[in-house]
Chain A
């Protein structure tokens, strides 16, 4: 009766149902968060500015050093690779546009997204998860505070503000990092390199990266919040949710990046 095929199909069915459920939950979470952000004050559920600033600090400002550092590293890597490949064609000077486009369109937002996912998706999941376990979320609800307005809206707004800013910082440092390696190869000064980089870049190249960063920020916060709220099973559950939040949000970022690129360059 319980053949492997039967079991396999059962698993597949359950998995699909869970997936649809989860996507629906994410969608509802996003809609509700936006609702409270825009119209919460009309039903006595205003999003507190103070909480938003606190989240902006945690998600954005605190991430500046690590984002900058990793951006320099990525910039260096791109330049090392780029120069090595371009040398075979004797076209080292193309590193300027190569680096500029690569960083602003792809690697700036991506490295920002991955760092913020690692820092903030886990932090959100752990914080909301332990609040769920210790009934603090229930306590909010019975006090009359909608948990989504109080706990989910501030980080979402904060991420939407801070992700583009972080991405700009990452763009800058990655280009500086790449430039430092390329200077001797292309025989330019640093200021000359940066100046030329700015002239070859279109505003749209930078906007693309910023739009991506908004999508990444939304995904990170939604995944962090959703996994946090759905924690069951005590401390063990909180640990599992934290891991899940980081893995899921990095996966989501990479897939979203690919989909975005696909539609952009089609």
Chain B
């Protein structure tokens, strides 16, 4: 589709500066910088509650930050008018953790929906284009099934087909291997690598699966408690001497420091926090 200036030059595809956000009074992200070059596969890693899902929701434009800026493909995503925003959505695809397929539609209709909403195409073209993408994810011939008839791995792949149906420049993938067996999740990893090479997409993957992360990542960003611990290549992350990162890599339980006063406060407090 369209090749904007961002894809041809070496300008970053994603440029997040000092992103800060709160949930109630709790700070979820604290001055996060996050920059991704075109054609890169970037993995965002971190434990539960590290803020990685929140960062992703910000990148998707589903949340409004309390501070900082988010630029995707050279545009500030919070300064677009309705038409620009619509055009912008064609350049990004998202595969959600649970697939988020529309349960009232067949797989084929799910994949075709973005095409129907964005372009005026005749039925034949839409059918061919959506089946083409189903073939890419090895789901050829499954277009007439309902999402409830699919297995977990098939749902992920169908969601991926829907995400790439408009040939986006930017693909987001939330927890590709969550809830899948090792073989299927390895297949998904292959698929992600194939997509980058074949379609020259920039891909951001959020995961806590180490094997998958090391296999596909060009660079890894490790988040912990709302802060970026480090961004680096697989080798750099592996050899990092940061204690938190080593905890994450070696599946060690965290060292939880107990503050006696806070502990007593939590036990005896009235719970009136918000």
Using CB atoms and an 8 Å cutoff, list the residues of chain A in contact with chain B.
2, 43-45, 130-131, 134-136, 138-139, 141-145
A135 to B57, CA, bound (A): 11
**Best-buried of A43, A131, A139 by chain B (most CB within 10 Å):** A139
| Interface residue B92 (Cβ < 8 Å from any Cβ of A) | yes
Q: Are A45 and B100 in contact (CB under 8 A)?
A: no
Return A33 CB to nearest CB of chain B, in Å. 16
Return B91 CB to nearest CB of chain A, in Å. 10
| Range for the number of chain B residues in contact with chain A | 20 to 34
Residues of B within 8 A of A135 (CB): 96-98, 100
Residues of A within 8 A of B90 (CB): 144
A138 to B56, CA, bound (A): 12
Residues of B within 8 A of A143 (CB): 89, 113-114, 117, 162
Residues of A within 8 A of B259 (CB): none
Q: Are B102 and A142 in contact (CB under 8 A)?
A: no
Within 8 A of A (CB), among B108-164: 113-114, 117-118, 162
Q: Give the dominant DSSP class at A's interface.
A: helix
A142 to B86, CA, bound (A): 9
| Interface residue B94 (Cβ < 8 Å from any Cβ of A) | yes
Q: Are B83 and A139 in contact (CB under 8 A)?
A: no
Residues of A within 8 A of B162 (CB): 139, 143
Residues of B within 8 A of A145 (CB): 113, 117
Q: Are B100 and A144 in contact (CB under 8 A)?
A: no
A142 to B174, CA, bound (A): 13
| Interface residue B249 (Cβ < 8 Å from any Cβ of A) | no
**Best-buried of B97, B100, B118 by chain A (most CB within 10 Å):** B100
Q: Are B96 and A144 in contact (CB under 8 A)?
A: no
- Tell whether A142 pairs with B62 under 8 Å between CB atoms, given A43-B86, A44-B86: yes
- Tell whether A144 pairs with B118 under 8 Å between CB atoms, given A44-B86, A136-B102, A139-B96: yes
